[in-house]
């Protein structure tokens, strides 16, 4: 029996009178890499914001570790192991790489922080090369790696990634997806929201397709990748 870490049931979110999310269901089981794909404006990021407690929802429920998170703030959820890397990355630009990683561990008081920083440098060797550099001087791809590493420093049970390939060069996109796959292989459960449908489905165990605030299809990453409707709408062939 799969251990469901995150369960979204009948989720409805509206703001400014617009129904952005119209009653969706999705679940993320322990150890899975789940991709939520869809075009711009489909409601993917809104869903993520509701899951992380940064946006109130008007209907349905979100359960994390078997308990409703309705009304819980993002801070509470990070402490419980739900970490998000937002679209736009949000690194501390006037701090060094190492200081950013230390900030990622602010909820912890154990002795393993230095070891975990070292582990991040193994996963992201580029960060080691620049560890004393200010984050604001790094490229977009490097900042994305730092944002992911910083989120991993909180030792999350579930890592939420919102559009990690947005605005990156093709080489950096390759690298980011490689890292997402590697992090997943180490046992971190991941929910990936991504416009780059092909890349997101290639690495996903399961995928959900979102369109105009609704989930229109779900299946294994492989099945969705070869589905004619998905290919036509999101893969351009």
Q: DSSP letter for 89, please.
A: -
pLDDT score at 76: 85
Q: What is the pLDDT of residues 173-220, one digit of tens each?
A: 999 999 999 999 989 999 999 989 999 999 999 999 999 999 999 999
pLDDT digits (tens, 9 = 90+) for 31-62: 999 999 998 889 999 999 999 888 889 999 99
Q: Report the chain's mean pLDDT, rounded to a whole number.
A: 92
Residue 16 has pLDDT above 90, yes or no: no
- pLDDT value, residue 75: 80
Q: Is pLDDT of 129 > 80?
A: yes
According to DSSP, the residues that pair with 189 across neighbouring strands are: 158
The predicted pLDDT at position 158 comes to: 96
- Whether domain 31-53+73-235 has CATH 3.40.190.10: the reply is no
pLDDT tens per residue, range 65-116:
999 999 888 888 888 999 999 877 789 999 999 999 999 888 777 788 999 9
- pTM beyond 0.85: yes
pLDDT at 28 (0 to 100): 98
**Cα within 13 Å of Cα(207), Cβ side:** 28
Cβ 13 vs Cβ 58: under 8 Å: yes
Distance between CA 207 and CA 192 in Å, rounded?
A: 9
pLDDT at 237: 58
What is the domain partition of the chain in residue ranges?
Answer: 31-53+73-235
In contact, 185 and 29? CB cutoff 8 Å: no
The contacts of residue 87 (CB under 8 Å, 6+ apart) are 45, 162, 163, 166
CA separation for the pair 93, 66 (Å, rounded): 36
């Amino acid at each position: 029996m799969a251990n469901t870490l995150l369960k979204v049931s009948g989720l409805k979110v509206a703001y400014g009178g617009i129904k952005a999310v119209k009653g969706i269901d999705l679940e993320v089981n322990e150890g899975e890499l789940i991709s939520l794909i869809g075009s711009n404006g489909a409601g993917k990021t809104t869903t993520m914001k509701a899951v992380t407690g940064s946006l109130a929802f008007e209907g349905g429920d979100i359960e994390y570790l078997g308990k409703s998170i309705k009304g819980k703030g993002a801070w509470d959820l990070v402490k419980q192991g739900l970490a998000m890397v937002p679209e736009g990355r949000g690194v501390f630009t006037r701090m060094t790489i190492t200081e950013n990683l230390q900030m990622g561990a602010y909820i912890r008081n154990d002795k393993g922080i230095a070891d975990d920083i070292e582990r991040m440098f193994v996963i992201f060797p580029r960060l080691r090369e620049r560890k004393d550099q200010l984050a604001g001087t790094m490229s977009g791809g490097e900042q994305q790696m730092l944002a992911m590493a910083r989120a991993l420093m909180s030792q999350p049970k579930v890592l939420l990634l919102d559009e990690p390939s947005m605005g990156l060069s093709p080489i950096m996109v390759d690298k980011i997806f490689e890292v997402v796959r590697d992090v997943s292989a180490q046992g971190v459960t991941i929910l990936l929201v991504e416009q780059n449908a092909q890349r997101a489905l290639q690495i996903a165990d399961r995928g959900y397709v979102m369109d105009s605030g609704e989930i229109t299809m779900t299946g294994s990453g492989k099945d969705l990748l070869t589905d004619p409707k998905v290919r036509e709408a999101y893969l351009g062939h």
